[in-house]
């Protein structure tokens, strides 16, 4: 018996024709069904498989609470729009996530850090109907990474303004086409590192393959501004809240690769890993404020419903 819970989202997007919310669903149809995680689910002609043509989100679930759920649903919609996919039906996805978490916990107990992964593809070729799934499983153990990681900078090969100049490159969309991100991770491993920070071809710090960069310098906490073809981080917004509560100014702006290297402290932050302090960037070592980082991770793991009071942009 597999531990993971899988739901097939049968009504993943809002019908183009319907003015009414969920008008494509019969009364009482939730728009998703429980599925067998161990059974075949995907048709081989689904464009998510043959083309990587789809989008996803991964949500940390702490003590049964999907963190920053509304921000993740908003970002799923943003990614879908960048790929010209129909608009996801937020109500269906929200309920599917909650149902998946409830099912997992009813079978496996309440403990531990879980994650919910949302997948939306363009669907089976020729059918013109998107496919959707949500699965919930136990998260990887990131306790070691929360103590420190070694990182290398890699050239992304695009200018920082690629999202404006070339939107068809889908910079800033969380698409299923992750082969380049995985390749970057393997290059980091070859260089004896745990993770990557991408740098634009014109010398600006961008993001990690699955994370945002947080920079502490001169008493100010910064992250690269998100119009540079990078993903707005759901966790990064909460990190800013943490530092603001402690009296640090926070700022979104362009950060050059040199500024990155000259920082006092650096973190990579992401939904499931939370905050990992950087102990080395390329050949430069950084002291880690273990107490500050522990406080930061405790704050991130403890968040509940703060996220919809204020959306950062």
Is 265 within 8 Å of 290 (Cβ atoms)?
no
The reply to whether 270 sits in an annotated binding site is no
The owner of tokens 């009364």 is 27
CA–CA dist 122, 3 (Å, integer)? 28
Helix (H, G, I), strand (E, B) or coil at 246: coil
- Pick from 181, 278, 182, 272: nearest CA to 234: 272
Cα(93)–Cα(87) distance, rounded to whole angstroms? 11
Q: Annotated binding residue at 117? A: no
**140: number of Cβ within 10 Å:** 11
User: Is 271 annotated to bind ligand?
Assistant: yes
Name the DSSP letter for residue 216: E
Can you tell me which residue has the tokens 């920053």?
A: 68
Count of CB atoms situated within 10 Å of the CB of 84: 7
Phi, psi of 89 (to 5 degrees): -85, 100
Nearest to 285, CA basis, from 249, 256, 261:
261
To the question of whether residue 58 is assigned a binding role by annotation, the answer is: no
CB atoms within 10 A of CB 66: 22
Which one, of 113, 201, 230, 206, lies nearest residue 151 by Cα?
A: 206
- 283 burial via Cβ count (<10 Å: 0-12, 13-18, 19+): exposed
- Tokens coding 107: 């079978």
Phi, psi of 292 (to 5 degrees): -60, -45
Length of the chain counted residue by residue: 313
Residues belonging to the binding site for pyridoxal 5'-phosphate are 75, 174, 234-235, 271
Residues belonging to the binding site are 75, 174, 234-235, 271
């Amino acid at each position: 018996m597999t531990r993971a819970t899988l739901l097939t989202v049968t009504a993943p997007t809002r019908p183009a024709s319907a003015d009414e919310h969920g008008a494509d669903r019969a009364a009482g149809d939730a728009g998703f069904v429980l599925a067998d995680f161990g059974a075949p689910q995907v048709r081989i002609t689904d464009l998510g498989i043959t083309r990587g043509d789809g989008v996803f989100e991964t949500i940390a679930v702490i003590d049964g609470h999907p963190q920053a759920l509304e921000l993740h649903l908003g970002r799923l919609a943003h990614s879908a729009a960048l790929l010209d996919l129909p608009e996801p039906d937020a109500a269906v996805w929200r309920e599917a996530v909650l149902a998946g978490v409830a099912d997992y916990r009813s079978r496996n107990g309440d403990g531990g850090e879980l994650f919910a992964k949302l997948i939306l593809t363009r669907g089976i070729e020729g059918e013109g109907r998107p496919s959707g799934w949500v699965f919930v499983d136990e998260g990887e153990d990131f306790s070691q990474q929360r103590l420190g990681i070694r990182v290398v900078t890699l050239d992304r090969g695009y200018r920082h303004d690629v999202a404006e100049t070339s939107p068809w490159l889908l910079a800033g969309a969380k698409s299923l086409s992750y082969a380049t991100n995985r390749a970057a991770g393997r290059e980091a491993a070859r260089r004896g590192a745990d993770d990557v920070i991408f740098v634009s071809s014109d010398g600006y710090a961008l993001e990690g393959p699955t994370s945002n960069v947080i920079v502490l310098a001169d008493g100010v906490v910064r992250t690269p501004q998100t119009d540079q073809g990078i993903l707005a981080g759901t966790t990064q917004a909460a990190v800013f809240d943490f530092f603001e509560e402690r009296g640090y100014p926070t700022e979104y702006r362009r950060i050059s690769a040199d500024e990155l290297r000259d920082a006092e402290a650096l973190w990579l932050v992401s939904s499931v890993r939370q905050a990992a302090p950087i102990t080395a960037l390329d050949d430069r070592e950084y002291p880690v404020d273990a107490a500050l980082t522990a406080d930061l991770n405790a704050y991130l793991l403890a968040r509940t419903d703060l996220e919809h009071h204020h959306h950062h942009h």
